[in-house]
Chain A
Amino acid sequence: AQSVTQLGSHVSVSEGALVLLRCNYSSSVPPYLFWYVQYPNQGLQLLLKYTTGATLVKGINGFEAEFKKSETSFHLTKPSAHMSDAAEYFCAVSDIGTDKLIFGTGTRLQVFP
């Protein structure tokens, strides 16, 4: 079965600084990969996804992620953090043969002024 690992349960950055949230997956076959954001007491909102094609994926709110097969990674980045980016971020991978998503444990992003 697929699995996804998010390194770092908490990440703190200053406003305007680079945001880097790490995600690695385990699969011998490139899966579909997703990043979601969750604000307190809310559901999840899709930031971006990789299925096929270009390995650098651009999403909403200025976020992007790059699929690196050699590193089995799909790290999320944003050049300049904004206070409104403070939230919980989940990396997810599709389960081969099904349409289920397997979520990582999440990374809480804090942005300081």
Chain B
Amino acid sequence: GAVVSQHPSRVICKSGTSVKIECRSLDFQATTMFWYRQFPKQSLMLMATSNEGSKATYEQGVEKDKFLINHASLTLSTLTVTSAHPEDSSFYICSARWGPGVNSPLHFGNGTRLTVT
């Protein structure tokens, strides 16, 4: 089946540094990728939607200058947390869809646990 690879699975960084998280669709071309943030024992909050070759669409309240999303190809999207602070510590999950519309399958990566010290 379709696989989405997310890397790294865990990262610890110092406050003020930037961290890049990669999301790759391994055996399909992802027309759309989504980035979620999940706080402990809470649901997934959609941060942004990215389509290959175009700017990401951010959800209300998400700082696009802080959370930089690049969808450079149909198999790769990256999320860069710039100037990270302890409050950015969270579990970040990407997902990828290979066709248009919500009826097409959505595949999730295994997430990245970011800890900012």
Interface residues of A (CB under 8 A from B): 9, 32, 36, 41-46, 51, 90, 94-95, 98-106, 108
**Nearest 5 CB-CB pairings of A with B:** A43-B108, A94-B102, A44-B108, A99-B102, A103-B43
Q: Would B32 and A99 count as touching, CB distance under 8 A?
A: yes
Which of these, A43, A51, A102, contacts B4 with CB under 8 Å? Answer: A43
CA distance A32 to B93 in the complex (A): 22
Which residues from A are CB-within-8-Å of B106? Answer: 46, 101
**Residue on A nearest B108 in the bound complex, by CB:** A43
With A41-B113, A43-B6: A100-B44 Cβ-Cβ less than 8 Å? no
Which residues from B are CB-within-8-Å of A106? Answer: 41-43
Least Cβ–Cβ distance between A94 and chain B, in angstroms: 4
Interface residues of B (CB under 8 A from A): 4, 6, 9, 32, 34, 41-44, 46, 49, 91, 93, 95, 97, 100-106, 108-111, 113
Which of these, A32, A41, A44, A108, contacts B44 with CB under 8 Å? Answer: A44
**Residue on A nearest B100 in the bound complex, by CB:** A99
Which of these, B43, B46, B93, contacts A105 with CB under 8 Å? Answer: B43
Q: Would B105 and A46 count as touching, CB distance under 8 A?
A: yes
**Residue on B nearest A99 in the bound complex, by CB:** B102
Q: Would B110 and A101 count as touching, CB distance under 8 A?
A: no
Query: Which of B32, B42, B102 is most buried by chain A, counting CB atoms within 10 A of its CB?
Result: B102
Q: Would B44 and A103 count as touching, CB distance under 8 A?
A: yes
CA distance A5 to B61 in the complex (A): 22
CA distance A51 to B102 in the complex (A): 9
Least Cβ–Cβ distance between A35 and chain B, in angstroms: 13
Which of these, B4, B97, B110, contacts A99 with CB under 8 Å? Answer: B97
With A100-B34, A100-B46, A106-B42: A43-B110 Cβ-Cβ less than 8 Å? yes
CA distance A44 to B110 in the complex (A): 7
A-B contact pairs, 24 of them (CB 8 A): A9-B41, A41-B91, A41-B113, A42-B110, A43-B93, A43-B95, A43-B109, A43-B110, A44-B44, A44-B95, A45-B108, A51-B103, A94-B102, A95-B102, A98-B102, A99-B102, A99-B104, A101-B34, A101-B46, A102-B46, A103-B43, A103-B44, A104-B43, A106-B43
